[in-house]
Chains A and B, each alone.
Chain A
Amino acid sequence: MAIVINKEACKGCTKCVKVCPFDAITMVEKKAVIGAGCTSCGSCLDVCPFGAISKIEDRVGGVDISLYHDVWVFAEQREGKLMNVAIELLGEGRKLASQIGCRLCAIVCGSGISDLPAELIAYGADVVYVADAPELANYTTDAYTKTIYEAIDQYKPEICLLGATHIGRDLGPCLAVRCNTGLTADCTSLEIDPHTKGILQTRPAFGGNLMATIGCPNHRPQMSTVRPGVMEKALRDESRTGEVIALKPSFAEGDIRQKVLEIVKNVTETVSLNDADVIVAGGAGLGAAEGFELLKKLASRLGGTIAASRAAVDSGWIDHAYQVGQTGTTVKPKLYIACGISGAIQHLAGMQRSGLIVAINKNEDAPIFEVADYGIVGDLYQVIPAMLEALG
């Protein structure tokens, strides 16, 4: 698609200039001109009072999409254990597959993973493609890309979902280029267009300031990555049955150009923000690393965990693993208590889907109050002890 301006109809009102999120429209001799920054997002179409702006189809390439069937989920495992995001993708994939009327399939790579197919079937996969080979024991870009690309090429899924983990965000782009198709990163919502049966992928852009719905009409598979913790997990049902298809990956000399020499785990306690029902998060307003001790008291009283905004992480008060937001973890606990967090849009992007949000901040104009169900203007060092007191 491309955006075009009908010069005759344009009256130079500049409404489109103001609404363009990409600053791509300028006025030349009182007529709107589309510049190099245009992404064809279409924001300008609706605001033009003169109907002078239209979208035209000018794409090239694509494939015969009728050859592609089924929804695939990349079932990421580490050390033989499925990642939670794989189960979340199966939950979401099931919805998409029933809207399309196709099968839900999982593809899993690893070494000695014979127990995983049954687990994936229990979580809803109709078909599991398994690549079990010593070369696939640890993730390497080359080995996984080759294996999965060959499976996609042979079995032709119409949709491929991957978790936006450090592995999924490495593998996804490589597969997309191999398949010469589009990949939409970090989707927060997936739907099926009832008419075209194509996928509608919604994701935040501009650090969460704007949402964009993205489609991939002429190329297959349609690929998306989804952040961990965003979608609902599939329910486990041991009585389900499914088909297991063994892939036969083979690797020649030079096929795998990365070699994992060592895997180092952080010695600090593992942080599982995704699974927490209650999160007590601290930001710049804590003023010092010691502030997290107070938050820990409240978190443990409520059976939850602590987290942090980027400001607190950047100040060196707490490890990055605790960071909630655009460049951290996306969470949706039942209760999120934001303490001394001003509420930058990047932070809000990571927590505003929480069940109930409480904000405690000295500054009554802090944007965090805009998303809070309960707001307390005050010093967290007074409010939290008072809450602990009230909790008894």
Chain B
Amino acid sequence: MKIIVCAKQVPDTNEVKIDPVKGTLIRDGVPSILNPDDANALEAALQIKDANPDTKVSIISMGPPQAHYMLRECLAMGADEAFLINGRVFSGADTCATSTTIAGGIQAIGDYDIIFAGRQAIDGDTAQVGPQIAQRLGLPVVTYVQGIREIKDGSIVVERQMEDGYEVIEVQTPCVLTCVKELNEPRYMSIKGILEAYDTPIKEFLTPEEIGLVADQCGLKASPTQVLRSFAPAPKGKGRMLEGTVVEMAKELVSSLQEKHIV
């Protein structure tokens, strides 16, 4: 079986802080990580490989050269090969253009039975690129996959997470599945994997032509949406800190709420 996993290197948004004076992001020391949902996507692929050792797992990513670190991490976890789409021409892409590029990269890699992606990346939280890749490739998609029940010949049975439960869905293969964190517990890199990862060359696609596209289909140029303005969220004014003993504070709070007819 051939599996392709889409991965993204993201800033760890849990570590991002706002400069309280200037209202801008403090980026110093914010680590770049493998997007958490993508780690679940890779783990899903690796579990299939564990059960069927002749499975080949390929990773594809779009991003700057620094993404090599993330791709080596994926290799060290157990992926067989890694591809990076990298170049100024691809930059500034919104989800619509990104999906065109990644779909091009996937076609350049070739054969696949299942394409896994994370549900969403923590820097954008859009959850769009996975299903959009499926549309570009003409493949069926199931998003929010929280369980894989059975891999059959020509189809796969998965659980799709809903707000109030889940659905059991049988989907034809090849297909795209986007994964949520409830699907599995991503493995750690192995020592052997880390050693081997550094000997595995990362293949790069540097031009649109290498992935069957032209420059006008890539990056900012091909993005229907435009960021018109970005700004730090307006801080809500700080209110009043109550003082005194616990009983005094509780009484004051309750009477304030009662005065405002909230309770």
Enumerate chain A interface residues (CB-CB to B < 8 A): 1-2, 18-19, 21, 23, 35-43, 58-62, 138, 140-142, 145, 165-166, 169-170, 172-174, 176-178, 180-186, 200, 204-219, 257-266, 270, 278, 302, 321, 326-327, 334-335, 344-346, 352, 355-358, 364, 369-379, 382-383, 386-387, 389-391
Q: B132 contacts which of A19, A174, A208, A302 (Cβ < 8 Å)?
A: A174
Contact indicator A258/B230 (Cβ below 8 Å): no
Residues of chain B at interface, number, CB under 8 A:
90
Chain B interface, >50% SS class:
mixed
- Distance in angstroms between the alpha carbons of A36 and B231 in the assembled complex: 21
CB pair B134 A174 closer than 8 Å: yes
Taking a contact as CB atoms under 8 Å apart, the answer to whether B239 and A2 are in contact is no
Given A258-B172, A386-B250, 7 more pairs with CB closer than 8 A: A36-B87, A60-B221, A178-B135, A204-B125, A215-B228, A352-B236, A386-B249
Choose from A42, A261, A302 the contact partner of B168 (Cβ within 8 Å).
A261
Q: Is the CB of A208 within 8 A of B233?
A: yes
Contact yes or no, B125 A185, CB < 8 A: yes
Cα A134 to Cα B64 with chains together (Å): 47
Structural contact, A36 and B171, CB atoms closer than 8 A: no
Contacts of A217 in B (CB 8 A): 226
Chain B residues in 8 Å Cβ range of A185: 95, 124-128
A182 B92 Cβ-Cβ under 8 A: no
Contacts of B92 in A (CB 8 A): 2, 38-40
Say which one of B11-19, B40-48, B72-80 lies at the interface with A.
B11-19
Structural contact, A206 and B11, CB atoms closer than 8 A: yes
CA distance A38 to B221 in the complex (A): 12
Q: Report the minimal beta-carbon distance from B254 to chain A, rounded to whole angstroms.
A: 4
27 A-B interface contacts by CB (under 8 A): A2-B92, A36-B87, A38-B92, A38-B220, A59-B226, A60-B216, A145-B135, A166-B162, A170-B141, A173-B127, A173-B128, A173-B131, A173-B135, A186-B126, A206-B16, A207-B122, A209-B13, A209-B18, A211-B233, A212-B227, A213-B229, A216-B225, A259-B169, A370-B236, A386-B246, A386-B247, A390-B247
- A262-B131 contact given A36-B88, A180-B224, A215-B226, CB 8 Å threshold: no
Chain B residue at minimum C-beta to C-beta distance from A58 = B221
Q: With A and B bound together, what is the CA distance between A352 and B234 in angstroms?
A: 11
- Quick one: which of B163, B216, B230, B236 contacts A213, CB cutoff 8 A? B230
* A-contact 0/1 string along B49-70, CB 8 Å cutoff: 0000000000000011000000
Among listed B104-112, B186-194, B196-204, B255-263, interface-contacting one:
B255-263
Contacts of A377 in B (CB 8 A): 241
List of A residues within 8 angstroms of B21 by Cβ: none
Judge whether B228 and A260 touch: CB under 8 Å: no
The reply to whether the CB of B238 lies closer than 8 angstroms to some CB of chain A is yes
The CA-CA distance from A374 to B238 in the complex, in Å, is 9
